[in-house]
Chains A and B, each alone.
Chain A
Amino acid sequence: FLGAGGGNDIQWCFSQVKGAVDDDVAEADIISTVEFNHSGELLATGDKGGRVVIFQQEQENKTQSHSRGEYNVYSTFQSHEPEFDYLKSLEIEEKINKIRWLPQKNAAQFLLSTNDKTIKLWKISERDKRPEGYNLKEEDGRYRDPTTVTTLRVPVFRPMDLMVEASPRRIFANAHTYHINSISINSDYETYLSADDLRINLWHLEITDRSFNIVDIKPANMEELTEVITAAEFHPNSCSTFVYSSSKGTIRLCDMRASALCDRHSKLFEEPEDPSNRSFFSEIISSISDVKFSHSGRYMMTRDYLSVKIWDLNMENRPVETYQVHEYLRSKLCSLYENDCIFDKFECCWNGSDRQVEFFIVMTGSYNNFFRMFDRNTKRDITLEASRENNKPRTVLKPRKVCASGKRKKDEISVDSLDFNKKILHTAWHPKENIIAVATTNNLYIFQDKMN
C-alpha cells in the first residue's frame, strides 16, 4: 500500500546494488540514465561508455514471500560508439543520454536510446530454442558433402540455454545540430520527439530518413541566443500535446494541431521570481533540468537546481507545490558555480501505482549520494542515502539529515562535509510497485518497501 499518510508511510529497505565496488570510477562506467519498462519487469541503464545494461526481475518466488523478485542482468550491449565530426573537428560522445521503452506488442522488447546526435531503436529478443537436424549441415555448422546424404529428415526445434539478443532496428541520425537532451514517445506509439538545445523534431518510428521540425528557438543571429531547450515530453494521453522546458525556468506547452511549427506556445508556465532570493545565480538555478508529466497528465513536475515544482496544467502563473531539495546550498552557490556543480542536471520521478490514482510521491537526487522523497499528501519529506555501508537487505533505511548551520546534532551531516562528487542525478520508480532504482556515479541501487 503506497504511503498515503496516516501511519502507512513506505519503509524503504536496501535490496540490491549493481556495479563495481572500488572507489576508482572508470569514466565509461558512469551511469547516465535509468528507466523501467512499462511493466516494471525490465530495468535499463545507460552509461558514459555507450553501453546499455538491462536487468530483469525474477518471477516472484512463492517461498520468498517477504521480498519481491531480484533484478539480474538480462542483456548488455553496446548501443553507441564514439564518433568524430570531421567538420567541427570534435568528438561526439557515446554517452547514452536517455532510454525510453516502447510498450510491449509481441514477444520482443523495444527501446529507444540516444546519445548527443543519434537515436537508435533496439529490439531485444529471446532465443531459447534452436533448430537441429539439418540435412546439409553438421551440428557444428560445417557443411556436409551432399553426396553423403542418404536419407532426409525434418529439422526440429530443441530447447537451448536462453540467449538474449539485442539488434538495432532503426537508426535515426543527422537531424540534430545540437546535443539531444530528451526523447519522448507519443501516446500513439507511432511517433516520438527528440529535443536538442535549440530544436525539437518529430519522428515516425518506422521512418529514419526524415524527421519534422516542430520547435525551433534558434535566433537568426546566434549572438542573441540567451535561452536553450533543456527537456521535452509528450503528454501521456493527448497525442498532439507536448511540453518543453528552458534554461530560464519556463515551460511551454504546445499543441501540434495549432500549426506545423510550434513556435508559439499554447501555454507558458513561469513562476515570478522571489525578490528576496535574488542573486547573481538566480537565472542559473532556475534552469529546469527535467520535466515529467503525472500519469493522468493533469500535472507536471519540474526540477531546477534547488527545488521540485508541481504544476497544474490549468494554472500557468505559478506551481501548485514547491519542494526544497537542498535549500542549504543557496548560500554556497558561488562555490558551486566555480566547481561547475551548479550545472548538474538532476532528474525527478513520480511514484508508480497499480491503480489509476493520482501520483502523490515524488523523488529526486542530491549530493553525498542522498536522494529525497516528498509526499504531496502529508507534506512530509525524507532524505535517504545510497551507500554500501549500513545497508543490509530488509533493514529499513535510516533517514538522513543535513545540518545547514549552527550546532550539528548527532547523526547529522554538516553542509561542508557533503561530498559533491557523489551525486545522484538519475532515479526511477517501478511503474506499479514500490521498487526504486537509484543511480550513484557508477553503481545502481535497488530499494524496495518493507513487505509485512
Chain B
Amino acid sequence: MLGKGGKRKFDEHEDGLEGKVVSPTDGPSKVSYTLQRQTIFNISLMKLYNHRPLTEPSLQKTVLINNMLRRIQEELKQEGSLRPMFVAASQPADPLSDNFREAQPAFSHLASPPLLPADFVSTMPLESCLTPASLLEDDTFCTSPAVQHDGPTKPPPPALQPVKDSFSSALDEIEELCPAPTSAEAVAAESAADDSKAQPSESNIHKPEGLPESRTAESKLMDPLPGNFEITASTGFLTDLTLDDILFADIDTSMYDFDPCTSATGAASKMAPVSADELLKTLAPYSSQPVTPNQPFKMDLTELDHIMEVLVGS
C-alpha cells in the first residue's frame, strides 16, 4: 500500500504482483499471472460489494470495475477453470438482476423498458425533431423534487418487504443448485434466509460477519437501506457472475489488508469470537440434508480453523 511518504521495503512478492503482466502461457510466471489476476478479481469484487455510500457511487467507477471483472471472467472461462456449478448457474435469469427487477418496480424500466417514452419518439423520424430531455425516461419525472436536507436522516425502508421476498427466492435458486450448503458462507446465507422468513435461529448470532466472501451480494440485499438498490442494480451487469460464484469463490484474503473500517458492516463488524464447537453446532441441522456428488465443499476441521482465523481476525 502506498502511504504518506513512508518508505516501502523492497518486496519481491509485491514486485511480482505489480510488475508488467506476463503472458499466461509462460511457465513459471504463469503462477504470478494467475495470482495477480486473482488478486485483482478479489479487489474488484470488494470494491463493488463493500461500498456503502450515502450518495450514489460513481457510475464510471462501477462500470470500469465491472468491465475488469468481466474480462477476468472471460479469461477464466476460456481457460476452462470454472466449476460445474458456475456453468450451470449462468442462465439468462440471473438471480441478482431478477431481484432488482422485482424489488424496485420504479427502476424496472432501467433494466428492460417495457414501454419507454423514447419508443414513441423513435417512431418519428429522429432527424426532424429534438428529444426533450424530460421525455427520456419516467425517472426524470419521478425523481422527487429535491428537498433541502438539513441533517443526515435515514428514511424508512419502504421496499424492505420486496427485497426479502426476492432474496429468499434467490436463495431458493441457490439451494436448488447446491442443496447442502455446509460451508460457512452458506451458514450466512441460510441464517439470512431464516431471518427473512422470520424464523429466529441461533445461527444468526454466529453469522460470520468477518468473512468478506459472505459480505457480498447477499449482504447488500439484506440491508434495510433501499438506497443500495442503485448500487446493487449495477451489479446486475455481472450477468454470468451469479451468487453461486461469489459465495463459493475461493477468495484468499491473506494477501492484502482488509480494513474493517471500510467494510460494509461498519459499526456492526464486531468480530465476536466464535469457537469451532459452536460453529459445528450450528452446522449440525444442515448436515442432515442430502449431499450431492458434485458438492465440492466438505466441512473439515482444517477449513474450520481457517474460518476461525478469519473470524477472529488474526
Contact = CB atoms under 8 A, between A and B. Distances in A.
Real binding pair: yes
Interface of A: 81-93, 116-118, 173-179, 197-199, 201-202, 210-214, 216, 220-223, 225-228, 230, 247, 259-261, 278-280, 283-284, 287, 331-341, 343, 414, 416-421
B2 interface: yes
B19 A260 contact: no
Contact of B230 (A90, A174, A228): A90
A331 B18 contact: yes
Nearest to A368: B5
25 contacts: A83-B146, A84-B147, A86-B147, A87-B144, A88-B229, A89-B155, A174-B134, A174-B140, A176-B140, A211-B132, A211-B133, A214-B130, A220-B113, A222-B237, A261-B130, A278-B21, A283-B64, A287-B64, A331-B19, A334-B18, A334-B36, A335-B2, A338-B43, A416-B7, A417-B7
Interface residues of B, number: 75
Interface string B117-152: 000000000111111111011011011111111000
Nearest to B229: A88
Given A88-B230, A175-B133, A280-B36, 18 more contacts: A87-B139, A90-B55, A91-B55, A178-B59, A199-B133, A213-B136, A221-B112, A222-B110, A226-B66, A226-B70, A228-B63, A279-B21, A283-B67, A331-B19, A332-B18, A337-B43, A338-B1, A417-B5
B143 A175 contact: no
Interface centre among B39, B47, B64, B126 (most CB of A within 10 A): B64
B30 interface: no
Contact of A228 (B59, B68, B72): B59
A213 B133 contact: yes
A260 B236 contact: no
B16 to A, nearest CB: 11
Contact of B68 (A91, A280, A417): A280
A136 B106 CA distance: 58
Cβ-closest 5 pairs across A and B: A83-B146, A89-B227, A212-B130, A86-B144, A84-B149
A287 B65 CA distance: 12
B306 interface: no
Contacts of A419: 4-5
B279 interface: no
Contacts of B233: 222
Contact of A334 (B40, B136, B153): B40
B82 interface: no
A268 to B, nearest CB: 19
B60 A230 contact: yes
B17 to A, nearest CB: 6
Interface of B: 1-2, 4-8, 17-21, 36-37, 39-40, 43, 47, 53-56, 58-61, 63-64, 66-68, 70-72, 97, 106, 110-113, 126-134, 136-137, 139-140, 142-149, 153, 155, 157, 225-227, 229-230, 233-234, 236-237, 239, 256
A177 B137 contact: yes
Contacts of B66: 226
A336 B2 contact: yes
Residue from the set B59, B153, B225 with the largest chain A CB neighbour count within 10 Å: B59
B234 to A, nearest CB: 8
Given A284-B68, A421-B4, A90 B227 contact: yes
A230 to B, nearest CB: 6
A88 B56 contact: yes
A343 B61 contact: yes
Given A211-B133, A220-B113, A337-B43, A175 B140 contact: yes
Contacts of B8: 416
B140 to A, nearest CB: 6
Contact of A226 (B37, B63, B139, B227): B63
B37 to A, nearest CB: 7
Nearest to A420: B2
Contacts of B133: 175-176, 199, 201, 210-213
Given A177-B137, A225-B63, A212 B131 contact: yes
A93 B55 contact: yes
A419 B5 CA distance: 5
B131 A213 contact: yes
A175 B134 contact: yes
B136 A216 contact: yes
Contacts of B137: 177
B17 A334 contact: yes
A230 B63 CA distance: 12
Given A174-B134, A211-B132, A223 B149 contact: no
B56 A179 contact: yes
Contact of A280 (B21, B110, B112, B230): B21
B22 to A, nearest CB: 10
A179 to B, nearest CB: 7
B9 to A, nearest CB: 9
A178 B58 CA distance: 9
